[in-house]
Structure 1
């Protein structure tokens, strides 16, 4: 389809979409306005007819609940070259309900049509950052890895994992593109599928050790076929100093990864002389479970669903000033509302 900018209802009517394409929006389609709500395009037509489309305005964004602010960089890229001044709270900043988080100053026609898009960026990113930060704080200094790509649409997976690391504080991400956008190598080892295909954990672990470059940490799953403690010892004895960690991902059907399991595996590894082998815990982790498992002896946490399904923090954009005059809808305060944390982007 054409990637020409959408500015009028006539432009919308001319859009043709192939039924064979993936339904996710391309970068060009986002930048050209195809992911906005139609009423913002109708607004452009109406205001243009009235000679008001490019009236100078001030707009502000706020949320109704607290969180960790994120999405500023993406919003700035969306509005790059639009003659819009952006002032915002720095990414990673905690905020309270109704705090002014972002202020846009410029001609309404330069950014009004992007209201849907930029609010979606901010709401999603802030939700992911807030959930990730909760996990990181629960881990109290131990690494948290973001494994959430499988739980969201692939079009947004790298956005989510980038935010979880860059703003939320996670130590790494499993999504290849998400990690590369951060200048990192993706984090991850081997799935159960590889072990099931090999037919034996130890068999695969030996091959894994053989083909993995020196200096790269070996982390082996130990919950596929045998008792976790037994499997951990088999792998540790075979790989010795090469083994960096074992990963526990016991399914809920077998009791899941609990503190008792962590303590037993840690105790048996230590007793056998493998104190250097760390324990990575994964599988439906939440901040509460991270605290409990950390106390039991887990060293690293892989978190997926809690981060990616973190409640999106809805954002609202209000016009606060039109042509130099304070304005507001009923129930809101007219005129810009100051927040000393705002900085020019």
Structure 2
């Protein structure tokens, strides 16, 4: 495939004090990435050069100030250079306003590049929410940043790892607030977002499982009324709209079936209900080494006018700069971004 035929993928640095720069550079050492896309990192070129030097990675960092100047060649990593990190004051594993500002700037820049059609898709590295907030940007996470700067009102977090695909009714809110957000209309919104996500990813199993909120899905009102009063009516309406849905299914049953591919995707009612089974599937902890052997999983923000995928893990401050971080999730996030880009391009050509 010629360079001109491949999607341009903008990849953010993440928090410079985290494993973000490391996994980005490691991912772009994989020849497969350059076979499927034209990747460009967005952040501080000095940070990427420093991590490559520290880890003895055989790569050239090529700072650029515009995407057309990128070389897109294996062995040379193009960096849309924001030059906004003072390496003398950067410490791995530490929260700081400087790191938060640099991380935020890389996200805002890649959004702007995508909105201007200079990149075809965006991929984000891990950020530290406290550092972002200390820099004066009061967001709960990437999803909310993207929603604001793309003026998106209806969106959802879709997690993808092998056969398990999970979208959430709510994410970064308290558990008490999450219960209040379980509403029929919102559930129908995320069913639609999930269905579109499955289609975009090329999935053929479109059966959707919808989790209950309460133990035993409320057990006919014995353990709460939300399942009967909000979730069940949403399921019935989704069926009337032509979706193949099942629910509310008690979560402890739903996810064991979903992990085997019984459902093409599932709707979780709140953050941890979806994240815990997802990470049990994709994250492999090595008890002897006291570190992750592999961290797999992709986070896709559905409903945006641009493509955004991300690693579904945090900053891992405890291992930042040590050279042991796995790029698996970043590679998967890039691959998913390419798949979504191809689907979008195909649809645009059909119009």
TM-score, normalised by the number of residues in structure 2: 0.30
TM-score, normalised by the number of residues in structure 1: 0.31
